[in-house]
Chain A
Amino acid sequence: MPLIINDVYPKKLFREDGKRLDGRENNEIRPIKMKVGVISNADGSAYLEWGNNKIYAAVYGPREVHPHHLAKPDKGILRVFYRMATFSVFERKRPAPGRREKEISMIITDCLEPVLFLELYPGTAFEVFIEVMDADGGTRCASTTVAALALADAGVPMRSLVSAVAVGKIDGQLITDLSGIEDKAGEADLPCAITWFNEELSLLQFDGDMDLDELNESLANAKTALNEILQIQLKALKSKYTTILEEQEGGES
């Protein structure tokens, strides 16, 4: 049954003044807020607001593997579970995980694994639970970003952080950080993630149409944006401690 108000895909994705529909420049990322240590029961956790995306990530581990047959005797395993809340999207989503969620879970697992030292934890698992409570484009990138924070917050040894962002093309122009509408109505979408220890891509997908020059330029734009994302992650990780340090300095005469 169609809803009373339906999801609109606007014809034009740029305004009269040349800016994107939400007022951004082509290479501008949306406002992002991150915080760690938000789920007290988890071994590590983080929360992120990226535009209208609101995503929680929590880490448990190393712990026993259920079901047991998935455990590996020579190394630990990483399991990522990406799920979306029923109310996170325009039309209510069925509660059970669908194929898209399972695919994204796998992609994020592959993306985060290179930074971990799984061989140190044989027979056990690190489980990362990602819950998207509100979605607005680029959720797999936002989820990867917040999951990396949660792992660091858990004190899991990592070669480096991982940052992710989606670049793409809308109305013929190359842009950074696609919102929900831009993702749905645009011409190309390229989500990617970088593992900083070797500065290589550990998540890469592409949908749409671009020529070779556009692709190269998009990857360069992505690198710039990824650096911006990293700075926000670093600030979130450290601010838990630096605010307390600052308070001490202020108080000491």
Chain B
Amino acid sequence: MNIRRVISTIEKKYIIENLKKGERIDDRGLWEYRKMNIAHDIIASAEGSAEVTLGETRIMTGVKYDVGEPFPDIPDEGVCTIMAELLPLASPLFERGPPDEQSIELARVVDRGIRHADCIQTKKLCIQENKLVYILFVDMYVMNYAGNLIDAGGISALTALISSRIPEGELKDGNLEWTGKYLTGKDIVKELPLILTYGKIGDIIFLDPNLPEELVSEGRISISVTKDKIVSIQKSGPATFSIEEIQELTKRSMEIGKNIREKLNLWQYKVSND
């Protein structure tokens, strides 16, 4: 496989000319996702896990927990932190080393896309106010990069949390003990936010860019939606979006989000609590 940062002029021309006719090389419409696959609870060592493939893009996410002191400004809330690593095995474009801008952007966009609007119930992740809370680590690893890491990442993070089983603890005389029960998906996740990412080239906007489309895109916008709210928006890249375009895209996102949510039925990935 031979991907370079330089994309050929004829490929760029090919993609744009076809997008103008509403055509894409993988035979999709402008507002269609590639084939998506979800596997959950696949990592024995993790408290929760999910592997999502979107076209050839593949992301593996695991959830681990720890317990610790809460942040002083939110003494009754647990903590959920999201990290991403673009593994060098996933693409000749990725280098080894500490997380770079692209990994940080992925982590932060997914973080804002699924944590806000009370989707993650951090108040339930509290053992004792001011003293002890759960800290959830959601770590995403990109295993193969073929465009649109954000949408795949969002679903993998959400599914990993839904499939989690965190041992429930309580403080008895200052000692942390296991109640014998577990916190599961319904305790952690309340809403099902989905992140939808669009690419933009010239005036054309399209959903779920594959790799060549992403490399050719001048801009990108990710919109996260629950069944009735917009949760977050992130625009990146030098392209500009008109207000009408934003309005159209948020409206579209609600509709597409609703369809995808029904199709994916993510609650099926909740595990039992015994």
Closest A-chain residue to B92, C-beta based?
Answer: A60
Min CB distance, A156 to chain B, in Å? 15
Q: Which of A34-42, A194-202, A229-237, A245-253 contacts B (4 or more CB under 8 A)?
A: A34-42
The reply to whether B178 and A4 contact each other, CB–CB distance below 8 Å, is: yes
Closest A-chain residue to B141, C-beta based?
Answer: A85
Q: Mark B130-157, 1 if CB is under 8 A from A, else 0.
A: 0000000101010111100000000000
Instruction: Determine if A160 is an interface residue (Cβ-Cβ < 8 Å).
Output: no
In residues 40-69 of chain A, which contact B (Cβ within 8 Å)? 40-43, 45, 52, 54, 56-58, 60, 63, 66
Report how many residues on chain A are interfacial, defined by Cβ distance under 8 Å.
38
Instruction: Determine if A129 is an interface residue (Cβ-Cβ < 8 Å).
Output: yes
Taking CB atoms, residues of chain A closer than 8 Å to B83 are 86, 95
Instruction: Determine if B67 is an interface residue (Cβ-Cβ < 8 Å).
Output: yes
Taking CB atoms, residues of chain A closer than 8 Å to B65 are 3, 92
User: Within the assembled complex, what's the spacing in Å between the Cα atoms of A5 and B177?
Assistant: 8
User: Within the assembled complex, what's the spacing in Å between the Cα atoms of A66 and B95?
Assistant: 9
Interface residues on B, range: 35 or more
The reply to whether B176 and A45 contact each other, CB–CB distance below 8 Å, is: no
Known: A54-B42, A87-B49, A134-B46. A4 touches B167 (CB 8 A): yes
Instruction: Identify which of B44, B64, B91, B146 contacts A92 (C-beta below 8 A).
Output: B64
The reply to whether A54 and B89 contact each other, CB–CB distance below 8 Å, is: no
The reply to whether B62 and A85 contact each other, CB–CB distance below 8 Å, is: yes
Instruction: Determine if A81 is an interface residue (Cβ-Cβ < 8 Å).
Output: yes
Min CB distance, B108 to chain A, in Å? 16
Instruction: Determine if B60 is an interface residue (Cβ-Cβ < 8 Å).
Output: yes
The reply to whether A58 and B176 contact each other, CB–CB distance below 8 Å, is: no
Known: A41-B144, A86-B62, A92-B66. A54 touches B43 (CB 8 A): yes
Instruction: Identify which of A2, A39, A95, A136 contacts B139 (C-beta below 8 A).
Output: A95
Taking CB atoms, residues of chain B closer than 8 Å to A92 are 64-66, 137
Taking CB atoms, residues of chain B closer than 8 Å to A91 are 64
The reply to whether A87 and B1 contact each other, CB–CB distance below 8 Å, is: no
Known: A39-B144, A135-B45. A45 touches B89 (CB 8 A): yes
The reply to whether A87 and B43 contact each other, CB–CB distance below 8 Å, is: yes
Taking CB atoms, residues of chain B closer than 8 Å to A52 are 44-45
Taking CB atoms, residues of chain A closer than 8 Å to B49 are 87
The reply to whether A87 and B89 contact each other, CB–CB distance below 8 Å, is: no
Closest B-chain residue to A89, C-beta based?
Answer: B45
| Chain B positions near chain A (C-beta within 8 angstroms) | 1, 3, 42-47, 49, 56, 58, 60, 62-68, 83, 85, 87-92, 95-96, 98-99, 137, 139, 141, 143-146, 167-169, 176-178
Besides A1-B68, A41-B1, A129-B87, 13 other CB < 8 A contacts?
A: A1-B66, A3-B66, A4-B177, A41-B3, A41-B56, A41-B92, A54-B42, A54-B43, A60-B92, A63-B92, A86-B137, A88-B62, A95-B83
